């Protein structure tokens, strides 16, 4: 067997694999002998079928199968030993008048080669890394939400602006019949609010759905309808008042602090607000980090230029899918996937050049940290290491889980690498400012 490579250009090559009769004869003969031992052919005793008949019936199929096995093994070994970084898979070239009755065979494969390039992480323009801080207003709102959650309801005969009114929304035509509780602070417009404020228990109000709530999501919840159904919904509904309650806020005392965080962890309103600030900003950090990854990805794509074997890749897309594509379809598919392929190559280069590969020990430790975090949510603050080891072992025996956790860990390693090496500028913003700037 002989394998040679013709370099067409920096991104394309042709590999030729020559297979001689000596390469496959031994394996083909052995398989045919096994066939002969077990063949059931009418007129012959088992194991006594003439070899000529066996070759006639099975020889060509066995030959083709064994040559293809030799071919694939040889090609894979060659690409590995020569350290050829290929895109897609080798594509066999069409050969006219190929003759399987010959003794020796020659096969050609087209290769699309990964480009050579350098990654410059430090772009001319610094990338913004947002530090999202919890504003005093946000913290105060959270404190108020906690007080409401742990407070109590006091029944009333008449409603005021901050009260809760329980009842049933009905519209027979739209098949709406939903019991719910309405927070009057969410009602939009003085006319609608006045109807609730004047109502007594047992009264039925007639309301228009359009402009009933400040937020359309509250309308979806109140009527139990879909988002699409809520779009431009403008019908009359009735609302029968069953209860009117005042939300009495819980006192900000030690009893409440202990319910929230455990005995003695928080002992004052100041400490409560500091804890809310810390927890909120920890959650914000995840959003900030994801935005940073997105921004660096775009910067790398913009500033790292290289060519791709476009013609080869379009041909590969056209011929290797479940259904063959036309040239135009393959071109469209390539254009859709080109950006992702380019970043995949850039990311791979960064990982390789900076030894950021994930090791099994790192993967196991990362999985154990994830498990500890999940257990902490259910009050298990100090699990035994053996317990963590056993759970991690079960999780890592699942290949889908290994892939998912590996991707999470690699994302974290890349993020840390970018934070240390990319040209960044930190900008402190509130959460609302972050949303406005990033999602304009």
DSSP string, 156-216: -SB--TT-EEEEEEEETTTTEEEEEEEEGGGB-SHHHHHHHHH-BTT-EEEEESTT-BSSH
Per-residue pLDDT of 204-230, as tens digits, reads 999 999 999 998 899 999 999 998 888
Per-residue pLDDT of 380-397, as tens digits, reads 767 888 888 899 999 999
What is the predicted pLDDT for the residue at 190? Answer: 93
- Which domains, ranges and CATH numbers included, belong to the chain? 2-113 (3.30.70.1050), 152-248 (3.10.50.30), 262-306+354-439 (no CATH)
Q: Which of 27, 38, 93, 35 is nearest to 65 (CA)?
A: 27
Residue with the larger pLDDT of the pair 322 and 160: 160
Strands 424-430 and 127-133: parallel
What is the predicted pLDDT for the residue at 97? Answer: 83
Strands 86-92 and 105-113: antiparallel
- Please determine, for residue 171, whether its predicted confidence score (pLDDT) is greater than 90: yes
Alpha-helical runs (H) found in 325-426? 327-353, 360-377, 385-396, 399-421
Q: Quick one: pLDDT band at residue 189, thresholds 50, 70, 90? A: very high
- Please determine, for residue 45, whether its predicted confidence score (pLDDT) is greater than 80: no
- Please determine, for residue 54, whether its predicted confidence score (pLDDT) is greater than 90: no
What is the predicted pLDDT for the residue at 316? Answer: 94
What is the predicted pLDDT for the residue at 169? Answer: 96
Round to whole Å and give the CA distance between 240 and 179.
Answer: 9
Q: What is the pTM of this model?
A: 0.73
What is the predicted pLDDT for the residue at 170? Answer: 96
- CA-to-CA separations, 427 to 42, 130, 223, 421, in angstroms, rounded: 85, 5, 42, 18
Q: Which of 237, 252, 184 is nearest to 213 (CA)?
A: 184
Taking the CA atoms of residue 184, residue 190, residue 192 and residue 193 in that order, the dihedral angle to the nearest 10 degrees is: 30
- CA-to-CA separations, 11 to 45, 185, 310, 327, 402, in angstroms, rounded: 58, 65, 9, 20, 33
Averaged confidence pLDDT in the chain? 92
């Amino acid at each position: 067997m002989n394998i040679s490579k013709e370099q067409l250009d920096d991104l394309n090559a042709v590999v030729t694999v020559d297979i001689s009769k000596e390469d496959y004869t031994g394996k083909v003969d052995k398989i045919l002998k096994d066939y002969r031992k077990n063949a059931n052919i009418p007129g012959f005793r088992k194991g006594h079928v003439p070899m000529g008949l066996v070759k006639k019936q099975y020889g060509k199929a066995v030959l083709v199968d064994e040559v293809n096995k030799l071919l694939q093994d040889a090609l894979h070994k060659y690409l590995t030993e020569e350290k050829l970084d290929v895109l897609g898979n080798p594509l066999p070239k069409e050969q006219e008048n190929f003759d399987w009755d010959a003794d020796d065979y020659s096969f050609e494969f087209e290769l699309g080669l990964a480009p050579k390039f350098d990654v410059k992480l430090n772009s001319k323009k610094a990338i913004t890394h947002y530090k999202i801080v919890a504003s005093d207003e946000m913290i105060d709102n959270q404190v108020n939400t906690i007080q409401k959650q742990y407070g109590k309801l006091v029944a009333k005969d008449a409603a005021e602006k901050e009260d809760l009114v329980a009842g049933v929304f009905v519209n027979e035509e739209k098949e709406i019949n939903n019991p719910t509780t309405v927070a009057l602070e969410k009602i939009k417009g003085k006319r609608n609010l006045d109807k609730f404020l004047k109502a007594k228990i047992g009264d039925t109000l007639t309301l228009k759905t359009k402009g009933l709530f400040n937020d359309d999501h509250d309308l979806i919840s109140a009527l139990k309808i879909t988002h699409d159904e809520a779009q431009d919904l403008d019908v009359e509904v009735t609302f029968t008042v069953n209860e009117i309650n005042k939300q009495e806020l819980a006192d900000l005392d030690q009893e409440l602090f202990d319910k929230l965080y455990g005995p003695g962890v928080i002992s004052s309103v100041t400490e409560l607000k500091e804890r809310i600030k810390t927890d909120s900003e920890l959650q914000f950090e995840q959003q900030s980090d994801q935005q940073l990854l997105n921004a660096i990805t775009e910067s790398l794509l913009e500033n790292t230029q290289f060519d791709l074997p476009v013609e080869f890749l379009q041909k590969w897309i056209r011929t290797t899918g479940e259904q063959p594509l036309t040239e135009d379809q393959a071109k469209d598919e390539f254009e859709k996937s080109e950006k992702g392929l380019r970043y995949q190559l850039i990311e791979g280069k960064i990982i390789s050049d900076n030894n950021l590969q994930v090791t099994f020990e790192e993967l196991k430790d990362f999985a154990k940290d994830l498990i500890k975090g999940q257990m902490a949510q259910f009050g298990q603050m100090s699990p035994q290491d053996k317990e963590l080891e056993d759970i991690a072992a079960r999780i890592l025996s699942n290949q889908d889980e290994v892939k998912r956790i590996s991707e999470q860990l690699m994302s974290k390693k890349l993020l840390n690498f970018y934070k240390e090496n990319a040209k960044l500028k930190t900008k402190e913003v509130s959460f609302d400012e972050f949303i406005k700037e990033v999602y304009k």
